[in-house]
Structure 1
């Protein structure tokens, strides 16, 4: 280890600039590789430095083909791509060893045609210490109690009520006051005397992956850097950290403290019997990282949605009795050109069901759900802040991101990065803008296509159950098409970083899916039956009569569509999430078993078992499914008040399915850091705002709430005769029959009555009053409720105080006054070196940290001069 640059002081490990190794150091983005003597491609680390298991595994498959006689006409350069890949692989492995990683190569010959190579990578202590400071990892200063972050558990404990949702999970991670890691203060941190356990597994994985992402394998001008591009090129087939043992429980009973972390997660989280219990979020974060843990924390909070109950039953009974006991009194006009007349008493069963959704309680429930949506988002911001501080990622900021592998491979030119000062692939902003505008036009065209195609199909089918089921199938098929199209458009736009690429892809997919899933309910709610006309003067489009609502009205059809689309999608998605990972894992195991034959080991090694698992597919599909569900329970809750109940049941199932995928089916993902759910929170806020307006229009124009209210005010408070009042006789000119009725507020000549104009004014006034009152209350809640709890602010101040006490001493604060300083009361000419935790309390002209002790250049930030130099011990 003395040959490593961090093992021999500030000047250790320096390489002659004329040497080829130094060239690789210059070509590596962001630094992070230190050239050593390059061993051969099959060399391994010395046994005394070799890790027993490894932090990371690289896998590549080699096809063994028998030598064939070369034809005379065969071009001599046919073998060059394969040779180039081998050269890249050799250089990449040499640079990894030059970066200080320990390697151990395992070769497994499966058959005469294929060999699988496993390369285990481990980071020694000096590499971990260096990158811990480079990546600003948090180090423990002082232990503190680790209470459960469940508000309901705290309330029940204060009320002395037993909590069946609480479970005692063994091996709970400890909680500490932390600050940014500094190698020079290593002895001040807890546990620094135990090098084997000081860094957690997820921290070691993150550090090794950072080295893999920075290491170059080819020419700099071709952006041949990082493991991600090597995976895209097919040079490596997999790169993943290892699971910590099997997830199956041992056959014999063992204490919970002796279970490995994966078994703890499976036994206390992923099993179906844990459906009603709290999630062990600290264990999830300790094993999978903050990004995945925050997703499951957010998913668990969405279970707070409730369901509604019918109200005002006596008034509803009067309306139901009027329809069901009408007999043949009300003969209705045909609903289409080929339909027959019908009697209103025939819709008695449908009217009974419709009154469960269309009653005055629906209005109050819509208001409640609007408040619930915003209150939930406010509550989640506070919960997210608590979890981010608890998991030491509140002040986390993304490092300067490297260009994506696809961007680096296809960028037409090179430009200097204004932040890092390094030349990297560049795509002109004007060209990207033109591509974005072109892609937006494609989005508009694709969004309009399903709308135009859905209207005639809905007119022909009458929006019955069978047509809605067919519509659901088409929606699910188009969902795959839209996702593929959005991915191609986003790649074509050439976004530089992975974050920009994911954000653009997320917005495109959400717009596509929003129209795909919500266009049919929007049509039924706001367009169907609005342009029908009246008998003798029916409105037509392209020679076809405009579609009217069914006998039960448009609201019952809307509730039917929402039920089938929402619940049907939930069922199909859950079946896919349950079967597809198992089928992919079975296919992977069968593929390896077929080539292994009789060479299957009786005791497969850990890296072999993990390679048989499937690659983690990320959280995009999971977030998208939950966000669309959030739209169903907020936007259309006035038409389908039972949507929150089905969402609650689905979330219980979703948590267990996702937990089983991550624990049992997926390879262990890299433990990425994150402090929030990203762009999805902005989308949720937009949906919450849209839901207020949509619910106002649904109550005003689709439901019978306002017509009933006006009738009660002007005619009868018990709604006697209301059904007859809402019907109008067909005009005398109607050739079919002048004794039939149709639902409208018109006179015998077809003109609107005065009641219709009064009702229209009330509807418009209700929409304005509804959205103004709700938005005002929501803004008031947002203003009154702080995003960070007061108790958390105290903890943050306490942590900063402890960090200042632990890291600030006489040896760390050096004040050097230059001889040409103008006066003792000014900062000009002074150079101060202070700990990182004291940067907010001093006013130096330039700051340098302990990174200078490692020979790492630091671009200091010039601060404005202060009138008085603060008093500090020297």
Structure 2
């Protein structure tokens, strides 16, 4: 079940990339793609060794240097996204010792929400309290997540370039792992906290502020989680609209200011080609597009129990995204040459991982937010185990019964490739 949902999302990803590619295609060949060398990185290599296949001297990175670079990248990854238990994070003694970059923003938002609930909500209406406390904090957290996401994108590219991978496939896989790891922690930390850890109480309060300063939600945790996920699903799409539509339009207006001074002549093919030529060139955007769709898919799968309209929101966001991509491919940028790929590569494994996390997360969400029927820890854990095993069984049976690619299509693909 989850597998075929992932396949449907994969189809949407391919659709956003290739629907408007009615121009020349670069034919996919398995051997050349998997073994293509990263020539830019090979230029900086000085060590050579004999290639057992071609029997020629080939540049390479020594094993010790490569391992040291991988280790440094992992340390940066852990430092930026260091995961600690929320009970330790909210404990004042541990927070002073183990605080990390990502949690600083989350801590500020938690403190804002607590102070708002204590100092202001008692004097205003419940609706106003909901807006000031939950909605404003969710919006602020969304802005922080989007800002951190831009930093993580730059950091992931810098680290991957520094690792100096020999082939394009290895480079892309390493970059994808970093991008997804950064954005996974960045996007899902706050929803996980609200869903599972917000009701933790401390004797001296959160961060030692006092016993009355507790970040609890009573029976409104699901409401807060729904608001936060809604803002994240909608808010993360706005920067893309600005960078993909507004900025290119401004650049075109600036460029047209020069050409408007030229004497106009009758439109013909040469004038059309000239206008197409002055358009900005579109760089490779598939990695960022894939990552955005994967994170959006994660919101739908992991927190489906808290926001039932999540699939509808995702559909609307993706439909708008398709229109934006179509506009920039056809009118704003030069038309790129489409590149046919065999599959989505390592993204398929990430989709499967999100399916597994989604099953487990929704089982715990249903069990631990149900106050009427599952009123003991034993019953909740029994429900989680039964629910999880039942869904995994259905998933694997459906995956076994329904082939990934129909036989007729597989034969047709072999004929083409």
Indicate the TM-score class for this superposition, using the shorter chain for normalisation: 0.7 to 0.9
Q: Which residue of 1 aligns with 2:250?
A: 583
Q: Which residue of 2 aligns with 1:135?
A: none
Within a 5 Å distance, the mapping from 1:818-829 to structure 2 comes to: none
1:659 and 2:326 correspond: yes
Q: How many angstroms apart in 2 are the aligned matches of 1:708 and 1:522?
A: 23
CA contact (8 A) 2:194 2:224 kept: yes
Q: How many angstroms apart in 2 are the aligned matches of 1:696 and 1:609?
A: 56
1:558 and 2:225 correspond: yes
Shift in Å at residue 696 of structure 1?
Answer: 1.1
Compared with structure 1, are the counterparts of its residues 560 and 381 closer, same or farther at alpha carbon in structure 2 (3 Å cutoff)? closer
Q: How many angstroms apart in 2 are the aligned matches of 1:510 and 1:379?
A: 20
Q: How many angstroms apart in 1 are the aligned matches of 2:5 and 2:26?
A: 24
Q: Which residue of 1 aligns with 2:277?
A: 611
Q: Map Cα deviations across residues 616-664 of structure 1 (whole Å, 9 max, x no partner).
A: 1221221111111101111111111111111111122111111111111
Shift in Å at residue 567 of structure 1?
Answer: 1.4
CA contact (8 A) 1:416 1:423 kept: yes
2:290 partner SS: helix
Q: Which residue of 2 aligns with 1:783?
A: 400
Equivalent in 496, 503, 514 of residue 173 of structure 2: 503
CA contact (8 A) 1:593 1:600 kept: no
Within a 5 Å distance, the mapping from 1:353-364 to structure 2 comes to: none
1:412 partner SS: coil
Q: Which residue of 1 aligns with 2:372?
A: 708
Equivalent in 416, 423, 426 of residue 57 of structure 2: 423
Within a 5 Å distance, the mapping from 1:39-50 to structure 2 comes to: none
Q: Which residue of 2 aligns with 1:678?
A: 345
Within a 5 Å distance, the mapping from 1:257-268 to structure 2 comes to: none
Within a 5 Å distance, the mapping from 1:398-797 to structure 2 comes to: 398-399=32-33, 401-448=35-82, 449-462=100-113, 464-530=134-200, 532=201, 537=203, 541-545=207-211, 547-550=214-217, 552-590=219-257, 593=259, 598=262, 604-605=270-271, 607-618=273-284, 619-701=286-368, 703=369, 705=370, 707-710=371-374, 759-792=376-409
1:415 partner SS: strand
Q: How many angstroms apart in 1 are the aligned matches of 2:104 and 2:193?
A: 12
Moved more, 540-549 or 551-560: 540-549
Q: Which residue of 1 aligns with 2:92?
A: none
CA contact (8 A) 1:414 1:423 kept: yes
2:338 partner SS: coil
Q: How many angstroms apart in 2 are the aligned matches of 1:407 and 1:400?
A: 16
Q: How many angstroms apart in 2 are the aligned matches of 1:479 and 1:436?
A: 22
2:49 partner SS: strand
Q: Map Cα deviations across residues 382-438 of structure 1 (whole Å, 9 max, x no partner).
A: 9999x9xxx997874435644324312211323344444443432113211210111
CA contact (8 A) 2:13 2:293 kept: no
Q: How many angstroms apart in 1 are the aligned matches of 2:263 and 2:11?
A: 55
2:48 partner SS: strand
Q: Map Cα deviations across residues 333-376 of structure 1 (whole Å, 9 max, x no partner).
A: xxxxxxxxxxxxxxxxxxxxxxxxxxxxxxxxxxxxxx3x3222
If asked which structure has higher relative contact order (CA below 8 Å, sep 6+), I would say 2
CA contact (8 A) 1:528 1:547 kept: no
CA contact (8 A) 1:382 1:788 kept: no
CA contact (8 A) 2:50 2:56 kept: yes
Q: Which residue of 2 aligns with 1:345?
A: none
CA contact (8 A) 1:393 1:675 kept: no
CA contact (8 A) 1:382 1:789 kept: no
Compared with structure 1, are the counterparts of its residues 382 and 639 closer, same or farther at alpha carbon in structure 2 (3 Å cutoff)? closer
1:709 partner SS: coil
CA contact (8 A) 2:198 2:217 kept: no
Compared with structure 1, are the counterparts of its residues 399 and 794 closer, same or farther at alpha carbon in structure 2 (3 Å cutoff)? closer
Q: How many angstroms apart in 1 are the aligned matches of 2:158 and 2:360?
A: 33
Q: Which residue of 1 aligns with 2:89?
A: none
Shift in Å at residue 487 of structure 1?
Answer: 0.8
Q: How many angstroms apart in 1 are the aligned matches of 2:176 and 2:362?
A: 26
Shift in Å at residue 556 of structure 1?
Answer: 0.9
Compared with structure 1, are the counterparts of its residues 398 and 513 closer, same or farther at alpha carbon in structure 2 (3 Å cutoff)? same
Shift in Å at residue 670 of structure 1?
Answer: 2.9
Q: How many angstroms apart in 1 are the aligned matches of 2:303 and 2:10?
A: 24
Shift in Å at residue 585 of structure 1?
Answer: 3.4
Residue correspondences, number: 368
Q: How many angstroms apart in 1 are the aligned matches of 2:403 and 2:8?
A: 10
2:108 partner SS: helix
CA contact (8 A) 1:700 1:763 kept: yes
Higher strand share: 1
Compared with structure 1, are the counterparts of its residues 793 and 467 closer, same or farther at alpha carbon in structure 2 (3 Å cutoff)? closer
Within a 5 Å distance, the mapping from 1:285-304 to structure 2 comes to: none
Q: Map Cα deviations across residues 681-711 of structure 1 (whole Å, 9 max, x no partner).
A: 221111111111111111122x2x2x3124x
CA contact (8 A) 2:149 2:186 kept: yes
Shift in Å at residue 379 of structure 1?
Answer: 6.0
1:674 partner SS: coil
* Contiguous gaps of at least 5 residues in structure 2: 19-24, 83-99, 114-132
Q: Which residue of 2 aligns with 1:377?
A: 6
Compared with structure 1, are the counterparts of its residues 408 and 446 closer, same or farther at alpha carbon in structure 2 (3 Å cutoff)? same
Shift in Å at residue 601 of structure 1?
Answer: 7.4
Q: How many angstroms apart in 1 are the aligned matches of 2:320 and 2:12?
A: 23
CA contact (8 A) 1:414 1:426 kept: yes
Q: How many angstroms apart in 1 are the aligned matches of 2:173 and 2:307?
A: 31
* Contiguous gaps of at least 5 residues in structure 1: 1-370, 711-755, 801-836, 838-874
Shift in Å at residue 562 of structure 1?
Answer: 0.9
2:372 partner SS: helix
